[in-house]
A and B are shown apart, each in its own frame.
Chain A
Amino acid sequence: MLPDIYILARYMQKPIIIDAASGVNIPDRLRECWQRWDLIMMLSYRDIKVRYTQTAIGMLWAVINPLVSILLLFFVFNVVVKVDTEGIPPLLFTVSGLCAWNYFSKVVSEAGTSIVGAQALVKKIYFPRLVIPLSKAISGLVELVVVLILLFILLIYYHYKVDTRIILLLPCIILVFFVGLGCGIWVAALTIRFRDFHYIVPILLRIGMFASPIAYGTKIVPHGYKWILSLNPLTGIIDGFRYAIFNIPLDYEIFMTSVGISLGLLISGLIYFLRMEKYIADIV
């Protein structure tokens, strides 16, 4: 048999040093996580397969879930209250807003409970713990794609023309991935210590669903309240989605605040999570 290059490579790797006195080397931890990319993909694949093959109607649940939110919001804001949707067909407007929110809420609730849910694994085998919430953020992309497909069906139905600006959806998706992951790992790390977050998070998400401009636009919000709205990172991101799809002018102040808060949440979440990491098996 040929010499196994995998074995050789492993023999030559630098020693693993576990030193109680040394601190957390965050770049090192992130690099190690990156090296386990195959594991992240396997875990995401597992989640998707288990989530959608176990039930009788499978993939349909991925459609029904956002559909219910869309109809609910549409009924309240576009049928009963009839908010100004800036010239866009109300249904289309609401769906465009739900893309980011649906993904965000899915990731926060799934990633948030992911470590506690994987405690049998975490107590028996080592791997960078960050891969667990990270894989949830990736498997959650299915939810985003489903709503995007709904959106494109509606765009065709309403004969709505999009231009090359649609390419800007990509950075917006990356942004919502970041903020979803950031909040997800914050919640995951906090839930390990305080199980209260099992109850706190659904409440916050319920508030967020109405506090985010999903079925209404930021334009109709009175000027004095705008700064509160801009603290919600989803506000700027949803505006970004609408800028890419409908060319609704972007309020840069709100957008940049959202970008800043998103990145801040991600970075602080990573730091907090990685500092907690070595205690996870002891306290989960």
Chain B
Amino acid sequence: MEAIIIEHLWKTYQRGKSRRGDIRQSLTFWWNNLKSGHEYFNALEDINLRINEGDVVGIIGPNGAGKSTLLKILSRITYPSKGKVTINGSLSSLLEVGVGFHPELTGRDNIYLNGAIHGMSKKEIDRKFESIVEFSGLELFLDTPVKQYSSGMYVRLAFSISAHLDTNILLLDEVLGVGDLEFKKKSLQKIAEKLNEGRTIIMVSHQLDVLQSLCVNGLYLDNGKLIKAGPIDSVIETYLTAKSELKNIDLGLRRDRMGSGKAIVSAIRFVDKDGKSLATIHSGQFVKIIVELKSLDKFIQNVDIRLDVFDKMGQQWFLLSNTISDGTFLQCPGEAILECEIPKFPLGEGHYILNASLNINNQKSDFIQQAAEIEVLPGDFYSTGKLPSASNGVLINYHWQVKGE
């Protein structure tokens, strides 16, 4: 039997303005609409889908593809513009960890409150209380207000409650990205247990390896459209192929970006110490990353650039942010060229991608996933003639020696 049937599902938002605001705004908005007509964009376009009971489905796609919108519609937070969804059974969703926690209340009170928000009755929580507490490992902090919890404790409590929801359909949005490793394992185990009980699980994650290990089937969304549905391995493959095709488009012309656009990242290049362009990088090599900005303004103020480096499974390796290393650039020309020097490139052999984000005056101005790719070849990082192996983490400078006689 199908757990979820989605028929011709559309979600349309009005671009730019939301419908709230003061009365004057809403009147002028109405007037402008009369004159020029609405400007819409589709967060989801004609999605048709059947998900079987007991299926475990991972949704992948770039930011803004409609993954979260789909989960929000399935969990009834937001309503579709067109189309129909039928859900057989009960459904609970965990779109963000710790939603509904009140910082002033104790752990105990928050278990009851959060359980109730997720649809448990008081009796049901009474029954599961001990098990929830045991799973979280927070017995000693039950009567402490959660504002005094560490973020790790917070996550444990929140996930423990969610793990005890007895709904037969569970929606998870990027929630496994948090928490310490040990607890993450435990949570994955708990999810696996739920799978054995024949529950239907739909999850969104950027961590492709997690999806690959947990899911049976996958959905690939892009631009609100369902590009591919099928076994998770083949969906991931399609996704990765599509992603690698993106690099052929000129960065400044790409449209899959977010932010105000006050200034954008128009190019990212890698050069060596002589200024020669690099197609590949060797571990330990001197690399200069050149980021070109484009703006209509003559000058831009308070510029923060940040590059995040991931492998293709979505694991982050390091970040390069002028905010923490050198401080915000107070003023740049609109067409600035920003340079970042890495004296010894610290990654082993492999294929890496780079997300770029640009903030102007603390406002997100531009954000592009996979703005550049880096092909790293083995290199002599330690100048010993020995090449480090590919997947043992980042390479750092260190020195071993024998002390004593």
Stretch at the interface among B79-87, B136-144, B287-295, B350-358: B79-87
Interface residues of A in 113-146 (CB under 8 A from B): 120-127
Scoring A20, A53, A125, A282 by chain B CB atoms within 10 A of each residue's CB, the highest score goes to A125
Select from chain A the residue with minimum beta-carbon distance to B113: A42
CA gap between A15 and B90 in the complex, in Å: 8
Tell me if A219 is interfacial: C-beta within 8 Å of chain B. no
The answer to whether A194 touches B82, judged by C-beta atoms less than 8 angstroms apart, is no
Contact across chains for A124 and B84 when beta carbons are under 8 A apart: no
Per the 8 Å Cβ criterion, residues 17-47 of A in contact with B are 17-21, 36, 38-39, 41-43, 45-46
Interface status of B105 (Cβ within 8 A of chain A): yes
Nearest CB of chain A from residue B38's CB, rounded to whole Å = 15
| Cβ-based interface call for B364 (8 A) | no
Tell me, rounded to whole Å, the shortest Cβ–Cβ distance linking A209 to chain B.
25
B79-113 contacts to A (CB < 8 Å): 79-91, 93, 95-96, 99-100, 102, 104-105, 109, 112-113
Contact present for A284 and B20 (CB under 8 Å): yes
- B73 within 8 A of partner (CB): yes
Instruction: Give the interface size class of chain B.
Output: 35 or more
B99 touches A6 (CB 8 A): no
CB pair A18 B116 closer than 8 Å: no
Write the nearest CB–CB distance from B121 to chain A, whole angstroms. 5
Whether B18 sits at the interface, judged by CB under 8 Å, is yes
By CB atoms of chain A within 10 A, which of B21, B79, B116 has the most?
A: B116
- Give A184 to B104 CA distance when docked, in angstroms: 25
Contacts of B112 in A (CB 8 A): 42
Q: Which chain A residues lie closer than 8 Å to B102 at the CB level? A: 46, 50
- A13 beta carbon closer than 8 Å to chain B: yes
Known A-B contacts A39-B117, A124-B99, A125-B117; the reply to A7 vs B22 at CB < 8 A is no
Q: Given the complex, which residues of A lie within 8 Å of B76, measured CB to CB?
A: 16, 18, 126
Find B82's partner among A20, A192, A193, A278 (CB 8 Å cutoff). A20
**B146 → A minimal CB distance (Å):** 12
B22 and A195: CB pair below 8 A?
Answer: yes
CB-defined contacts of A50 to chain B, threshold 8 Å: 102, 104-105
CB of A159 within 8 A of chain B? no
Contact of B166 with A7 in the complex, beta carbons under 8 Å = yes
Interface SS of chain B: helix, strand, loop or mixed? loop
Neighbour of A18 across the interface among B85, B118, B121, CB < 8 A = B85
- With contacts A46-B105, A194-B22 known, is A281 near B78, CB below 8 A? yes
Q: In this assembly, does B233 line the interface, its C-beta being within 8 Å of a C-beta of chain A?
A: no
Which residues of chain B come closer than 8 Å to A281, judged between CB atoms? Answer: 72, 77-78
**Residues of A close to B113: CB separation below 8 A:** 42-43, 46
Interface of chain A, main secondary structure? helix
User: Do A6 and B88 touch (CB < 8 A)?
Assistant: no
CB of A7 within 8 A of CB of B19, answer no
Give the size category of A's interface with B. 35 or more
B84 touches A21 (CB 8 A): yes
Cβ-defined contact, A120 with B99, below 8 A: yes
Q: Mark B12-36, 1 if CB is under 8 A from A, else 0.
A: 0100001111110010000000000
Produce 1/0 per residue, B158-175, CB < 8 A to A.
Answer: 000000001110000000
Q: Which residues of B contact A165 (CB under 8 A)?
A: none
Our pick among B21, B22, B87, B96 for the contact of A16 (Cβ within 8 Å) is B87
- What B residues does A192 contact at CB under 8 A? 20
User: Beyond A20-B79, A282-B18, is A10–B166 a contact (Cβ under 8 Å)?
Assistant: yes
Does B75 lie at the interface of the complex (its beta carbon under 8 Å from any beta carbon of A)? yes
Q: Is the CB of B117 within 8 A of A13?
A: no
Contact of A53 among B72, B79, B89, B104 (CB under 8 A): B104
Is there a chain A Cβ closer than 8 Å to B124's Cβ? yes
Give the residues in chain A near B79, CB-CB below 8 Å. Answer: 18, 20, 278-279, 282
Is A125 touching B83 in the complex (CB atoms < 8 A)? no
- Contact pattern, A 95-127, Cβ under 8 Å of B = 1, otherwise 0: 000000000000000000000000011111111
B122 at the interface (CB under 8 A from A): yes
Contact B19 A193 (CB under 8 A): yes
Q: Distance (Å) between the CB of B95 and the closest chain A CB?
A: 5
Q: Specify which of A6, A11, A125 is in contact with B89 (CB 8 Å cutoff).
A: A11
B140 to chain A, nearest CB (A): 21
* B119 proximal to A (CB < 8 A): yes
Q: Which A residues touch B118, using CB under 8 A?
A: 125
Do B105 and A18 have beta carbons less than 8 Å apart?
Answer: no
Chain A residue, CB-CB nearest to B120: A38
Q: Which residues from B are CB-within-8-Å of A10?
A: 89-90, 166-168
Contact residue among A124, A126, A127 (Cβ-Cβ distance under 8 Å from B96): A124
Q: How far is the CA of A11 from the CA of B18 in the complex (A)?
A: 38
Between A and B, 9 residue pairs with Cβ closer than 8 Å are A6-B124, A15-B87, A16-B76, A16-B91, A20-B82, A38-B116, A279-B79, A281-B72, A283-B20
Q: Which 8 A-B pairs have the closest CB atoms?
A: A278-B79, A10-B90, A126-B76, A39-B116, A16-B87, A42-B116, A18-B85, A124-B99
